[in-house]
Structure 1
Amino acid sequence: MKPLLLVFFILLTSCDYFQSKKVSTEQLLEEEMQAINWNDVDEYPTFSDCDAATTNQEKKVCFENHLHELLTSHLENQKIVVTEDVSDTVLLKIHIDKTGQFSIRNIDMDSITKAQIPQLDSILRHSFDSLPKIYPAIKRSQQVATEFSLPVIVNIN
């Protein structure tokens, strides 16, 4: 009788092992959202000129270099006259929306630079008027908006 009672007790307590645990969709979604790194993208914004780049890092460098080249060529064509030497790093806060539209959100510069070159804000904004088509960043197979800072060194003697 004791072995039969022991088998019955084992079968009764082992039923918990066969039940599946139900997980709510909200809990699954919350776990997935916490696992995503929201500060990084799978593919950075890019130009068609950067198609030859194979890795994500190469595409990012190509994109940044292309922006720097456009900006440098535009600034070199400007006639800027100052009364004092200007040496500053101007920070452009750039936004690219999920359709690839480029915009400058903010231009952060020293007050001395702003006083010496009051038109610098508009010069910087107009230097990107002739941008080629931008392909937006991609995160988890979706086009997403991105923001980044582009430092511009202004050195006028």
Structure 2
Amino acid sequence: MKHYYFLLLFILFTSCQYFEKQVPSEKELLQKELKAINWKEVDEYPSFVDCDKLDDKTERQQCFFNLLTQLIQEKLQVDTLSVLYPELDTIEVKVTVFPNSKMKFEPQFPKDSVAYDTIKIDSILHARLVDFPKVNPALKQGIPVKTQFILPVIIKIE
């Protein structure tokens, strides 16, 4: 029985080294976590309700971009944009999805875009690009975040 007491005391004295470890401060842990996060990418891309049914992340992303492009093209097909500017076949649209699920569309014109009235095209786009289905914002660490991307939209389909 004495041998068990010696063994217990031996284990007790040698285990004290585990209690002396330095615990990192809260600020150090926070800085370490912030450095580990990739701020240039989101965990979940924005998506429409129809695309949420897909399991694969890249398929959901592709579904969102395809559906958004299709909706923009449909809204611009009914307009006189292709009649007013026949040389304009593709517009790059900067799409911003806010954390509150709102979307903003801004046309991106080349620097030398004097061939057409950018203000008129911008007003046509703002008038037509409304009433989109509900979009779920992008997520980073489970928190909704703002995302921006440029989407090429083909105006004339021949």
TM-score range, shorter chain: 0.7 to 0.9
What is the CA-CA distance between 1:132 and the residue it aligns to? 0.7
The equivalent residue for 1:12 is none
Q: Structure 2: how far apart are the matches of 1:99 and 1:113? A: 37
Q: Structure 1: how far apart are the matches of 2:90 and 2:39? A: 28
In the TM superposition, 1:1-150 aligns within 5 A as 19-80=20-81, 81-82=83-84, 86-87=87-88, 89-104=90-105, 106-110=106-110, 111-115=113-117, 119-150=120-151
Partner-residue secondary structure (3-state), 1:64 = helix
Q: Structure 1: how far apart are the matches of 2:116 and 2:71? A: 22
- 2:107 maps to a residue whose letter is I
Partner-residue secondary structure (3-state), 1:130 = coil
What is the CA-CA distance between 1:69 and the residue it aligns to? 0.8
- 1:109 maps to a residue whose letter is F
CA contact (8 A) 1:90 1:152 kept: yes
CA contact (8 A) 2:73 2:153 kept: no
Pair 1:75–1:113, CA change in 2 (3 A): farther
Q: Report the TM-score, using the length of structure 2 for normalisation.
A: 0.74
Q: Percent identity among equivalent residues?
A: 35
Unpaired runs of 5+ residues, structure 1, are 1-14
**1:44-98 alpha-carbon deviations (Å, 9 max, x no partner):** 1111111321111111111111111111112221124347x52464322221111
Q: RMSD value over aligned CA atoms? A: 2.7
The equivalent residue for 2:11 is none
Q: When the two structures are aligned, how many residues end up with a matched partner? A: 140
Unpaired runs of 5+ residues, structure 2, are 1-15
Q: Structure 2: how far apart are the matches of 1:148 and 1:56? A: 17
Name which of structure 1's ranges 129-138 and 145-154 shifts more when overlaid on structure 2.
145-154
CA contact (8 A) 2:73 2:155 kept: no
Q: Report the TM-score, using the length of structure 1 for normalisation.
A: 0.75
Q: Structure 1: how far apart are the matches of 2:124 and 2:135? A: 21
Q: Structure 1: how far apart are the matches of 2:70 and 2:115? A: 22
Pair 1:42–1:128, CA change in 2 (3 A): same
